[in-house]
Chains A and B, each alone.
Chain A
Amino acid sequence: MLADVIPGLMSVLDPTVLFFIVVGVFVGIVFGSIPGLTATMAIVMFLPVTYTMEPIEGVSTLIALYVGGISGGLIAAILLNIPGTPSSIATTFDGTPLARKGQAGKALGVGVVFSFCGTILGLLVLVLVSPLLASVAIKFGPYEYCTLALFALSLVITLTGRDLVKGLISGLLGVMLATVGLAPVDSAKRFTFGMVDLNAGFSLLTLLIGLFAITEVIKAAEDVRKPFKAEVESNVKIKGFGFSWAEFVSQKFNMVRSSAIGIVIGILPGIGGAISGMLAYTAAKNQSKYPEKFGTGIIDGVVASESANNAGIGGAMIPLLTLGIPGDAATAMLLGGLMVHQIAPGPLIFDKSGVEVFGIFFALAFSAIAMLCLELFGIKIFIRVLKVPKYLLLPVIMVLCVIGAIGNANRMFDVWTVMIFGVIGYLLIKAKIPHVPMILGFILGPIFELNFRRAVQHAQIDPTGFIGHPIAICFFVVTVIVIFFSLRRQRKEAALLKASEES
């Protein structure tokens, strides 16, 4: 196996492959940073191109697109308050406030560097312990997923802000929206009203565009007549990475914890980067000495979100390579890309395609380096986006969002859903209902329902089944504890906020 390391490295050091990696990362960053276009879409669109390439070229290109796409989302999240890709939702929580304080350069620098660190940590885990972790991952069955989804849903309480009732309403709205379409398990049509287009349900992408991109346009429309435009421009010259070594060191535990969360969520198929970012964010907040500062623009929030979503790449590659199980849409595409080139993922991959596997590892490492370089050089250019007046920027972004909505499944119907979600997003703002729990509910609701129904099927066959699943029991207990503590903390915070508002 170790004999394959050097040939693997050599196969990637080929100038054409390196060229494709740089181009792939660049294109990935472009797709990731433009709201409406995602990492998954970049891979979908370039997958057919890679069918005709040499194996290592094709696979390296796809990996580069993936790395660039996941990381690129932070740019729009920080500068525009619109997550460029679902996995950068949590980056907006502290990234945007930082940029509003005039520290956009710092926020971007932190995001980029910790994206890199996250990717590398994920890669290390992938290289060192992937067979072991893969065998743990398959032990996750319906009981485990069901309780895990429940646990993640309990995050709504932490992410909700001061008004618990409204946070829960938002989460439930997301869950209810996700029930439209074919039901999990038996594909019964639900809430489709005979419309064929509704059978496919709503996609996360259209919900994101509606809730984040359209509401940004509407906010700009509301501000047109406001006389005092707070032009917080960041003309600060960025030196180095934009933040100090001391700040980097202060985040080391946060980075490791967030990356670990990202890797674990990445390994478990079907949960996805959006959740890992939010999970890491709430974990960082709950364990912080200054939880009240989260959301006001501190680097901890950006570090948590960005290390986690990028660490998820290495995590997602673990079941993909060693079991042939794709964890999300992007890795499903990678699987197709591997199989076209006769690299068959599975327990025998190291024996059969050892050189290619090490090639993939090195391609991931080089992609991370290319991402770091491109984005660090790019920060000064990205930051100029803030200087472009919103009235020029936002209309064009809306058009790109519409392209993204159409391109998602190649149908016009999604454009209408984007518009409707935009209206809903606006009404929610007026009703002071937060948006983020809705996204959480939308993603987790179906996962919970699917696995809950499967677990019930299993429980009917073997009523004592739950006892044989210690991981599930563990999750359940933790969920109860988390709900208890976060309810207490939430009440305290709400009281504090109320007091500070009244004084």
Chain B
Amino acid sequence: MNSKRNDLITGIVLALFSLWYLYEAFSIRIFAGMGKAVVNSTTMPKIWAVCMLLLAAALIFRSIRAPAPKGNGDKTSASSWIKENSEVWCTFAALFIYAALLEPLGFIIASILYIFAQTIILMGKENRNYVKAGIIAVVCSVASYYVFVHWLAVLLPVGAIFE
């Protein structure tokens, strides 16, 4: 994962993104009503897309011209890199599962599960304490639910399984 290769990938991704954005900008429906306008809702998006394309090109150009990195620090294979960062992937997974479970299970249960899982992930292998994580998960989820739903009238999901 050296910076040269990184910039190249970033540049290519951004270039593709801006092309797609530009393409989408052409399909925006232009307001047909009265009121004068040479500049319409598609103008600025097109300008932004072109600017981004230029910047992406600059990034690609720069990364190609840059000297190859000294040393061989990027020998780490992709698979071992994924393995080393398993906590990161677990965190993202926990977050997305949390978001997905909020409506079916309701705020309280989903939050208990999420806090518990996230705490365990962040605790690391050496000092895992399931009881502590569990207590915090339950207390915080239930307390915040009651404060926000009953005092502040936020519409937190109750949970489809309870309906």
The interface of chain A, by Cβ under 8 A from chain B, is 45, 48, 165-166, 168-169, 172-173, 175-176, 179, 183, 185-191, 214, 217-218, 220-222, 224-225, 390-392, 394-396, 398-400, 402-403, 406-407, 410, 412, 415-416, 418-419, 422-423, 426, 430-433, 445, 449, 452-453, 456-457, 460-461
Contacts and interface: CB of A to CB of B under 8 A. Distances in A.
B95 A422 contact: yes
B118 A398 contact: yes
A399 B41 contact: no
14 contacts: A165-B55, A169-B14, A189-B29, A190-B28, A190-B45, A217-B91, A221-B85, A395-B115, A399-B140, A403-B144, A407-B148, A423-B92, A452-B39, A453-B37
B73 interface: no
Interface in B1-51: 3, 6-7, 9-10, 14, 21, 24-25, 28-31, 33, 35-41, 43-45, 48-49, 51
Interface in B43-63: 43-45, 48-49, 51-52, 55-56, 58-59, 62
B121 interface: yes
A171 to B, nearest CB: 10
Nearest to A415: B99
Majority SS at the chain B contact face: helix
Given A426-B92, A452-B44, 20 more contacts: A165-B58, A169-B56, A175-B48, A186-B33, A190-B25, A190-B41, A221-B87, A221-B90, A222-B85, A225-B84, A391-B124, A395-B118, A395-B119, A396-B115, A399-B115, A403-B144, A422-B95, A453-B43, A456-B39, A457-B35
A303 B109 CA distance: 42
Contact of A407 (B43, B56, B154): B154
A461 B45 CA distance: 24
Interface of B: 3, 6-7, 9-10, 14, 21, 24-25, 28-31, 33, 35-41, 43-45, 48-49, 51-52, 55-56, 58-59, 62, 84-85, 87-88, 90-92, 95-96, 98-99, 102-103, 111, 114-115, 118-119, 121-124, 132, 136-137, 140-141, 144, 148, 152-157
Contacts of A419: 95-96, 99
Contact of B52 (A172, A391, A395, A418): A172
A188 B31 contact: yes
Contact of B156 (A48, A169, A403, A423): A403
B36 A179 contact: no
B102 A415 contact: yes
A176 B48 contact: yes
B114 A395 contact: yes
Nearest to B118: A395
Given A179-B48, A415-B102, A394 B95 contact: no
Contacts of B102: 402, 412, 415
Given A185-B41, A431-B10, A169 B55 contact: yes
A222 B92 CA distance: 12
A221 B39 contact: no
B31 A186 contact: yes
Contacts of A453: 37, 39, 43-44
B114 A183 contact: no
Contacts of A168: 55
Given A188-B31, A423-B92, A165 B62 contact: yes
Given A186-B41, A416-B99, A457-B37, A172 B91 contact: no
Contacts of A188: 28-31, 40-41
Nearest to A173: B52
Contacts of B31: 185-188
Contacts of B121: 221, 224
Contacts of A391: 119, 122-124
Nearest to B6: A431
The 4 closest A-B pairs by CB, nearest first: A391-B122, A186-B31, A395-B118, A183-B41
A436 to B, nearest CB: 17
A398 to B, nearest CB: 7
Given A188-B41, A416-B99, A394 B122 contact: yes
Contacts of B96: 419
Given A165-B62, A431-B6, A221 B91 contact: yes
Contacts of B148: 403, 407
A399 B144 contact: yes
B122 A224 contact: yes
A126 to B, nearest CB: 30
A176 B21 contact: yes
B154 A406 contact: yes
B155 A410 contact: yes
Most buried by A among B14, B25, B48, B155: B48
Nearest to A229: B124
Nearest to B21: A176
Contacts of A426: 88, 92
Contacts of A432: 3, 6
Most buried by B among A191, A426, A431: A431
A191 B48 CA distance: 14
Nearest to A433: B10
Nearest to B49: A176
Contacts of B6: 430-432
Contact of B122 (A395, A410, A412, A445): A395
Contacts of A415: 99, 102
Contact of A222 (B21, B41, B87, B154): B87
